[in-house]
Amino acid sequence: MPIWSRLLLIGIVIFSVFSFVWFLFGSTAYFQRGMDIIGTTYLWGAGVPVLLFAVVFTILLIKEWTPTSGVDYVGICVGMGLSILLSAALIQSVNTHGWANEKIRSDALKISADGKYEYRVDLINVFQRNGSARLYLKNVSTGEETYISTEIQVRKIKTLAIGEVNHWIKLEPTDNVSHYILITTKELGIPEEKFEIDIATRTSRKLE
């Protein structure tokens, strides 16, 4: 096999393996969630063929196979072309939100009962094992914005109805001006949870 064709095959094998690994990590958010229907379709329609092409090309390289007829040349060229196209499709299909980038879903912005803060909850990478939640606050008087991590059980959320306006939490004032009570609502799809929010220290504590 000519050197140029060997180098081309090696490059295609490396590209194929890279595209499959990238697809596998991306479609599962680095194994933080299960593969969805679209991802599974790409896996069987493109991922498996790409791996098969990579295996066949590797065997040809090891055996130092050389085309001996026009049919051989056409076959290897078609195989390389398909491998490149399928590998490119795998890479393009990957959604990096929730893996390379955080995927954030937020409820509607509301005003606390005492009128001091605008607030909402941000759900980060919901439906994934690395899911989390944080409370967003904006001081109405000063405009200062604050984010406070909470222990809302995001991983327990199985379904989440998202409409034009969502109310996933309530924030209630207490006798202490820097302490508020965060309460999750039924719209969040999990049993009600309560948290004491300390704005001064930017901390959250779950209440039993």
Q: pLDDT tens digits, the chain, 208 residues: what are they?
A: 678 778 888 999 999 999 999 888 877 776 766 777 878 888 888 889 999 999 999 998 888 887 778 888 788 889 899 999 999 998 888 866 555 667 888 999 999 999 999 999 999 888 777 789 999 999 999 999 999 999 998 888 877 777 778 899 999 999 999 999 999 998 888 889 999 999 999 999 999 7
Q: What is the dihedral of CA 153, 154, 157, 163, to 10 degrees?
A: 130
Binning the chain into helix, strand and coil, the percentages to the nearest 5 are 40, 25, 35
